[in-house]
Amino acid sequence: MTIFLTGLLLVACAWLGGRLGGSGAGVFLFMLLALPWWAAQSYHAYLSRTPDPPGLWQTFRIAWAKAYDIRYLGGLFLLTALTDFYIIVANPTYALTIFCNKPDGLMGILAKAQSPTLHVLIGYGFLRLRRWSLFLYLVYAGFGLLNATANFACFGYGRVRFVFLITLAAFTAYVIWRRACFSSPRSMVKRPAL
């Protein structure tokens, strides 16, 4: 019952966020609160078939050791790539703002194409815990922070720009904090003590 009520509370928080900040805020909170909780519960249900005594903290310890948080971020990157691709296809006249400019023509197409392409690469690398994806993410995050700051300076305050800057800084700090996960996929598996 506690698990059900906690999940219900997280969904309610996402719904409330959507009511207060718009549908984008609700989806954002749902992806950051309710979906990871659901994923942890699913993993916990899977682990309960193991001979070890099941427990939610045991599940979180295993998920942490196997870097499922980073893999979850990889899944979010893949989902974002699909969203970016849909926006580009559904709105062919959409122009991405890069350092206060909206390039058109071939440069505009390349500017729009970089987003889903890099999101797919980073998402795949995060799912597989590849070290190159950490470096690619850090370069892309640096570009994103510089670009968003420049656009903030040119166009002033914007809710989307502001939320993007804050969340990008928070995600980047988290990924840097968990950077050891990317050293080697084999290092995530604990070896038995001799």
Mean pLDDT by 10 residues, the chain (194 residues): 70 77 73 70 60 64 80 86 86 79 81 88 91 94 90 80 84 92 60 41
pLDDT at 72: 83
The domain locations on the chain are: 1-66, 67-185
pLDDT at 51: 52
Whether the model clears a pTM of 0.75, i.e. scores above it, the answer is: no
Cβ neighbours, 10 Å, residue 93: 6
Q: Which helix (H) or strand (E) holds 17?
A: helix 2-21
Cβ neighbours, 10 Å, residue 183: 12
Burial of 136 (0-12, 13-18, 19+ CB in 10 A): middle
What are the structure tokens assigned to 139, written together? 């370069």
pLDDT at 191: 43
pLDDT at 104: 80
d(CA 27, CA 187): 34
DSSP 3-state of 98: strand
CB 100 within 8 A of CB 154: yes
pLDDT at 128: 87
pLDDT at 193: 42
The identity of residue 28, as a single letter, is F
pLDDT at 174: 92
What are the structure tokens assigned to 31, written together? 């992806």
In a 13 Å sphere around the CA of 36, the CA atoms on its Cβ side amount to: 18
Q: Which helix (H) or strand (E) holds 155?
A: helix 131-155
CB 136 within 8 A of CB 117: no
pLDDT at 54: 59
DSSP 3-state of 171: helix
In a 13 Å sphere around the CA of 175, the CA atoms on its Cβ side amount to: 29
